[in-house]
Amino acid sequence: MSQFKSAEEAAAAGKYVRTVRSFVKREGRLTKGQATAIERLWPTLGLTLDSGRLDLAQVFHRKAPVTLEIGFGMGHSLVEMAANAPERDFIGIEVHEPGVGACLMAVEEAGIDNLRVFHEDAVEVLKQCIPDKSLNCVQIFFPDPWHKKRHHKRRIVQPEFLSLLTQKLESGGIIHLATDWENYAEHMLEVLNEASDLSNLSVSGDYVSRPESRPKTKFERRGEGKGHGVWDLQFQVK
């Protein structure tokens, strides 16, 4: 159980020097419900860098396949996935505190106990808290595409970060990415194809159809109505 009452308090207690960050930490105005959810639920559902290297079986009080989602937004699809797969455990990482609060509210409403959250930078969580070969799946859905060419270097899916993800996945583990920016999809495909320890699960050698396990977001449904595409990629650790 965490000693902290809120994600903000926990983040302020970080004792580590931070270098490359996967996101810029963003704070926003919490609703009363989000703030109350963090205050009430963070001690049991929140994880912090201060926890150090995690024993995931101890965190969830059982041994089960673990899915890690980086950048869960408001958490609605992540909570839905956790509710639909009670045999699996889930960890979400999000830098936007209102998203953390909204996710915790949804967890309580769904009545599930197989989801824990970090309000931290994903790179630091992976390096400091996640044991090697401990994850069954890592998913990143609709990350910031940094669509201007001069900003492409800020995209989270880069060879160095991909190497870190692969290190944390067990043999046979899955990296699942999704984006609604075709140029970013092409970039992701290029980066993953260059990784010799990964194999593409697409029968056509590029993208996969959206798995039923990934719920459509409201933005995705809205985009489809306007004719926008969505590209899913799934690669497996050899």
b vs e for 119-148, b when ≥16 Cβ sit within 10 Å of the residue's Cβ? Answer: bbbbbbbbbbbbeeebbbbbbbbbbebbee
> For the chain, what is the total number of helices (H) and then of strands (E)?
9, 8
Q: Looking at this protein, which amino acid is placed at residue 135?
A: L
Query: Among 1, 180, 47, 25, which residue's Cα sits nearest to residue 95?
Result: 25
Task: State how far the Cα of 7 lies from the Cα of 54, in Å rounded to an integer.
Answer: 18
Mapped onto helix, strand or coil, the DSSP state of residue 196 is coil
Side-chain-side CA neighbours of 134 within 13 Å: the count stands at 19
Residue 149 is classified by DSSP as G
* Residue from 50, 113, 144, 197 carrying the catalytic annotation: 144
* Residue 184 structure tokens: 């970013």
Cβ partners under 8 Å of residue 120, min gap 6: 11, 14, 48, 49, 93, 95
The reply to whether 144 belongs to the active site is yes
Catalytic residues: 144
